[in-house]
Amino acid sequence: MSSASPRPRLEHQNTADIIEHNYFNENQRPAALEKHTALARDFINLHAAAGRRVVLVTSGGTTVPLERQTVRFIDNFSAGTRGATSAEYFLEKGYAVIFLHRQFSLLPYSRHYSHATDCFLDFLHEGPNGSVVANEEYREKMLKVLRQYTSAKRERLLLTLPFTTINDYLFVLRAVSQLMRPLGPSGLLYLAAAVSDFFVPPERMVEHKIQSTNAVDTPTERDAEAAAENEKGSEEEAFDNFDSSPSVPRSKRLIIDLDPVPKFLKNLVDGWAPEGMIVSFKLETDPAILVHKARYSLERYQHHLVIGNLLSTRKWEVVFVAPGQKDRWIRVPQHRRKKTASTVGTSVPVVGPSEDEKPLDPKDLPEGE
């Protein structure tokens, strides 16, 4: 008889709970999960005891690995500008910020210098006695950013937690939002990360790098045998993440069969942090469907606010979609747009004052945006 403890019974739970149970049991816990959870627990306890509001900001794109030992992966668009900039504004407003971000994407404060088209060394020169000095024209702004950064660090107001894959992200999101549960409405979840909608489930992920040619070169007897095996439907070495056996040889093509990522926003709203304030972002490219999709998301998940944005105009305008309210477009005024058109390190608010109610036409934007 097996001595393993029985799995929890699920027959009285609803579908969302079963999907959650299955996902988090079938997918591997990230190695850093415990460490990140412990850091978040200490951080939340510290600020809850001080009566401070806490926000979880998610930022950057999640990846979908195609191989367990990952050489190739599918990425989601996001530099992390929205999340990193918003985090700075939350800090300014007195929040303690947990910044759950894609590793190497933009970070609050350092974003002003880290991914700029200029190398950060271009902001500096050598001073007297071997010192390093900021160039005159950048000094004022750099000093301001440096002071904000060191103050946030000194007061332990900013906790940065990295993720890479969709799986890392989901595990940490669940753990941190559950830790925020006792904060009630003074816990804010601000979900700006660009989250993958499709992934390769673990049972269909290959261990090794997907090969573009058959076997290890030179045709040998072994290759002939392997080819024959493949013909018979044996999938041992070949990459194929299809559920069923292929009916035609696909040896030269790469066909990727992805499952939908479960929509855990429902679980977050109903179970992980049911009293928290929850703001999600909706990204689209087609202006004709943005507001509709944002409204649909709000109705489906029943949270507090969906902020809609279009890929091409995201730096200038967003639409707020909230329960029982008219859609509200918020825009950076025209005269401030050029200044921020191609610079990452802008001091213009991510959302600015409203100009009018008509959405921007992407073709009216300056080039390069």
Interface ranges with ligand 9Z3 (CB under 6 A)? 78-82, 191-192, 194-195, 265, 280-283, 309, 314
> Measured from the CB of residue 164, what is the shortest distance to ligand 9Z3 in angstroms?
16
> Measured from the CB of residue 336, what is the shortest distance to ligand 9Z3 in angstroms?
17
DSSP code for 67: B
> Measured from the CB of residue 88, what is the shortest distance to ligand 9Z3 in angstroms?
13
> Measured from the CB of residue 10, what is the shortest distance to ligand 9Z3 in angstroms?
25
Phi, psi at residue 60, to the nearest 5°?
A: 90, 175
**Nearer CB in complex with ligand 9Z3: 78/267:** 78
The candidate with the shortest Cα–Cα distance to 183, out of 90, 54, 57, 303, is 54
**Nearer CB in complex with ligand 9Z3: 66/351:** 351
Residue with tokens 């943005």: 290
> Measured from the CB of residue 262, what is the shortest distance to ligand 9Z3 in angstroms?
12
> Measured from the CB of residue 252, what is the shortest distance to ligand 9Z3 in angstroms?
33
Give the whole-angstrom CA distance, residue 179 versus residue 96.
Answer: 14
Give the whole-angstrom CA distance, residue 239 versus residue 235.
Answer: 7
**Nearer CB in complex with ligand 9Z3: 37/86:** 86
**Nearer CB in complex with ligand 9Z3: 175/191:** 191
Retrieve residue 38's tokens.
């412990």
Phi, psi at residue 322, to the nearest 5°?
A: -130, 155
Retrieve residue 7's tokens.
């799995």
Residue with tokens 């702004």: 141
> Measured from the CB of residue 309, what is the shortest distance to ligand 9Z3 in angstroms?
5
Give the whole-angstrom CA distance, residue 364 versus residue 181.
Answer: 44
Burial of 223 (0-12, 13-18, 19+ CB in 10 A): middle
**Nearer CB in complex with ligand 9Z3: 96/192:** 192
Sign, CA torsion 10/279/299/199: negative
| Helix 166-180 × helix 33-49 angle, to 10° | 30
**Nearer CB in complex with ligand 9Z3: 156/328:** 328
Give the whole-angstrom CA distance, residue 305 versus residue 309.
Answer: 13
**Nearer CB in complex with ligand 9Z3: 62/186:** 62
